Structure 1
Amino acid sequence: MSTTVTSRNPADPADLVIEVQAPGAFGTTAAVERARVAQADWLAAGAAARSAALGRAAEAVEAHAAELAVLAVREVGKPLAEAQGEVARTVAILRYYAQAPYAPSGAVHETAAGPGLLLTRRRPYGVAGLITPWNFPFAIPVWKAAPALAVGNTVVLKPAPEASACALRLAELLALPTDVLTVVPGGAAEGAALVSAADVLSFTGSTGTGQAVVRAATERSVPVQAELGGVNAAIVLPTADIEQAAAHLAFAIAGYAGQKCTATSRVIAVGAALQPLRAALAKALAAVECGPVISQAARERLTEAVSSAVAGGAQVLTGGQLPERNGWFVEPTLLAQVPDGHPLLTEEFFGPVAVLLAAADLDEAIELANATRHSLAASVHTRDLDVALAAADRLAAGMIRINAPSSGVDFHLPFGGTQEASHGGREQGAAALDFYTASRTISLLPAGEER
């Protein structure tokens, strides 16, 4: 049974961006079966054909960059400059993976004795099922789909309902052969059906849903990766350029209203850095032009968390209010003296709210930064190279940035965290090509000889 998917502008909830029928579980399973049939021809077309198709896709996205950026602003509330940057990154990702079909897919080894060859070769699984969030409506679907397609899989994409228009328009522009890339708009029913039918799975979203996806895929012995967010820390030392650090942190906290899995939610000031950073960061956050959060429910969860912290003794250094304007806006907020164990210190809230903590020295700062099961990204701010290297060596996060916001991503390098932040193989870069393929070992021996 199909249902209707609606997506509204978070800056103007009366603005209906799209209304579309979801295919339901049956329709999703049928899409996977069509993709499985198409996969044989897509793989057989060869490296040149897949490379050219991804190259044309990059050109199409680039040609419609202005349109896509405006659509992202309207559908998911992304600031225009960030939306433009995301579209440019999407183009770059497509161009990067357009070269991947020509990459070596294995290696040749010597036999232990006698003539012959031993080969390893990586081959696609078949149909890649992708479940993506709304916060990067172009870049995340593409950084999953492009490597999967490059190595010969076909793709069925289930985007978050809040990004349905972006996903459908993206698929139109990519213009791949029939059933090579299919978008199934919908919700839990479509997601569950995709998890039950695809040959390899990649998920980005909430921890609870991601863990359910991992369990279901594991029961089927299907390769699965899941990116589940982060409770990310920034360490600021007395040797840092405090004004620069504050500017970086303000962006990492409130850029795109903090709706990034790599956003900073805990700021740890070491020793004498505390007082100057406290003032500089409060000032920098107050100056940020912050867009809306994605929904009324998201705004209510944030405001309830801030109110709970204040009731427990926290101090609001800046923000903490709801702007008097239409849409789901929240002021960039910095809190101090948040009670130990409060959810703002332990859970991902996906909003422009951060907690300022104090550490006596680097050892305590590292201990505080690592006090989470969601170690995705961290940043360290200092002019002291020895301290930066020591911190990078001891932090548990999967991605560590020195003198830069935690929220930056290099798409040609592995992306992922540790513990409950991520599961399975890394995304992006060459690591993604390995994830979407299985290794085969081939023994090629002369006819008539035995081993």
Structure 2
Amino acid sequence: MTVISRNPADPADLVITVDTPGADGTRAAVERARAAQGAWYASGAAARSAALTRAADAVEAHADELTALAVREVGKPAGEARGEVARTAAILRYYAQAPYAPAGAVHDTAAGPGLLLTRRRPYGVAGLITPWNFPLAIPVWKAAPALAAGNTAVLKPAPEATACALRLAELLGLPEGVLTVVPGGAEEGAALVDTADVVSFTGSTAVGRAVIAATAARGIPAQAELGGLNAALVLPDADIEQAADHLAAAIAGYAGQKCTATSLVIAVGAAYEPLREALAKRLAAEVCGPVIGEAALDRLTTAVDTARAGGASVLTGGHRSDGPGWSFAPALLAEVPAGHPLLGEEFFGPLAVLLPAADLDEAIAIANSSRHSLAASVHTRALDTALAAADRLAAGMIRINAPSTGVDFHLPFGGTGSASYGEREQGTAALEFYTASRTVSLLPPA
């Protein structure tokens, strides 16, 4: 088979065409990675740290090239693409220090002389399956901690981000077999899940559930980041104009193609009417780039059309726009009928539903009803309200007076319910995920 990646802003622009290795080729790549893992781990902390530092240097040295490639292949706005390249280098530098971190602890024995040690050791080969929306940062925030801990990695990127993944791996300049990119689709992904020693997945809920089932059957560790249906709560005392700015950024930034994008806007009490007007006006002025493909555009327009047919009000947007390629006008809907998919599913585009709530209790109940609660935002001037909401919201990440989007790579990343499975990504939590703890009893001869 062949992977074909096109520019979403100009579908006639063919970015890359590459043959896929199939299941056998993927398994062979895993075996090469397994053969390289022993030497990579044995090279020691200094060598792994230096390799990741050199990789960060290479990303920074080719920042303009990588920015342009991300803009071209996945339609990312230039400013966001530059930010992603900088973040990619920063993640590499952060995990370049990880090989020097303690890999265990020493404990006293229950009785008598000796030592009890806990030691963390790499699993072997990390199988990484990544999406297209962050074609540089997500592969690195999975690969860097895995490599720092002494694993090797095989990366299967989304077909739409193949060129970014291949060029990134080339620039990182790691030893043969330490990081391998396997282009492809479902066949390659399934083969990777069936042969790797630890698996990290980011993508759709349906595919993620299949990954979870397959890894559970094999008894290997897995983490899966799936869909996000994220809520923003706006209280009556909030700065409505500022909240509208934050919400518009979280709804329409990168055409809403972020798992932390806001999909449900919950206006509490008297905040509803002014927020309705301010947010619709702000979104109508939003200049939005293309969504990733024609199927994504069709899914968004169909969702708006069916909601409208069911009695929803389209406050702004919701149609194919005059922008480049597969562009969609950012949409805000109200009075969406109960049971409509917009209230329970992620559509991964610049589309949000405005909902009323009588008070904070109702707003939190609505937000917590989402099965895919990854991120949430709360907009209020009252510290006690902010703290109460942060304590009661089920989301894995909560941001106060800020957009729901935005991730700190040195802190744990993940959601609740169907949004995430397994241990958290990023920060020191990732180092724990890619290693197994072993207990060693060191006792003197009898």
Q: How many angstroms does 1:325 deviate by? A: 4.5
Task: State the one-letter code of the partner of 1:69.
Answer: T
Q: Name the SS of the counterpart of 1:119 in structure 2.
A: strand
Q: How many angstroms does 1:331 deviate by? A: 0.3
Query: Match for residue 118 of structure 1?
Result: 116
Which residue, 321, 324, 328 being the options, matches 2:322?
Answer: 324
Query: Match for residue 440 of structure 2?
Result: 442
Q: How many angstroms does 1:372 deviate by? A: 1.3
- Superposed, which structure 2 residues align to 1:348-359 within 5 Å? 348-359=346-357
Q: Name the SS of the counterpart of 1:351 in structure 2.
A: coil
| Contact in 2 for aligned 1:316/1:336 (Cα 8 Å) | yes
Q: Name the SS of the counterpart of 2:263 in structure 1.
A: strand
Query: Match for residue 56 of structure 2?
Result: 58
| Contact in 2 for aligned 1:229/1:262 (Cα 8 Å) | no
Q: How many angstroms does 1:321 deviate by? A: 2.0
Task: State the one-letter code of the partner of 1:165.
Answer: A
- Superposed, which structure 2 residues align to 1:303-342 within 5 Å? 303-342=301-340
Q: Name the SS of the counterpart of 1:48 in structure 2.
A: helix
Please report the RMSD computed on the Cα atoms of aligned residues, expressed in angstroms: 0.6
Query: Match for residue 167 of structure 1?
Result: 165
Q: How many angstroms does 1:286 deviate by? A: 1.4
Rounded Cα–Cα distance in structure 2 between residues aligned with 1:8 and 1:400:
35
- Superposed, which structure 2 residues align to 1:88-167 within 5 Å? 88-167=86-165
Q: TM-score, normalised to structure 2's length?
A: 0.99
- Superposed, which structure 2 residues align to 1:231-310 within 5 Å? 231-310=229-308
| Contact in 1 for aligned 2:117/2:440 (Cα 8 Å) | yes
Task: State the one-letter code of the partner of 2:337.
Answer: P
Q: Name the SS of the counterpart of 1:19 in structure 2.
A: strand
| Contact in 1 for aligned 2:394/2:416 (Cα 8 Å) | yes
Task: State the one-letter code of the partner of 1:95.
Answer: R
Query: Match for residue 31 of structure 1?
Result: 29
Q: How many angstroms does 1:326 deviate by? A: 4.4
Q: How many residues align?
A: 446
Rounded Cα–Cα distance in structure 2 between residues aligned with 1:221 and 1:232:
31
Q: How many angstroms does 1:288 deviate by? A: 1.4
| Contact in 1 for aligned 2:378/2:386 (Cα 8 Å) | yes
| Contact in 1 for aligned 2:116/2:440 (Cα 8 Å) | yes
Q: Which runs of 5+ in 2 are unaligned?
A: none
Deviations 1:391-427 (A, max 9, x none): 0000000111111111111100000001111000100
Q: TM-score, normalised to structure 1's length?
A: 0.98
Which residue, 422, 425, 434 being the options, matches 2:423?
Answer: 425
Rounded Cα–Cα distance in structure 2 between residues aligned with 1:272 and 1:328:
37
Which residue, 387, 394, 397 being the options, matches 2:395?
Answer: 397
Deviations 1:142-171 (A, max 9, x none): 000000000000000000000000000000
Rounded Cα–Cα distance in structure 2 between residues aligned with 1:245 and 1:56:
41
Q: Which runs of 5+ in 1 are unaligned?
A: none
Deviations 1:180-213 (A, max 9, x none): 0000000011000000000000000000000000
Q: Name the SS of the counterpart of 1:225 in structure 2.
A: strand
Q: Name the SS of the counterpart of 1:26 in structure 2.
A: helix
Task: State the one-letter code of the partner of 1:136.
Answer: F
Matched-pair identity in %:
78
Task: State the one-letter code of the partner of 2:72.
Answer: R
| Contact in 2 for aligned 1:86/1:139 (Cα 8 Å) | yes
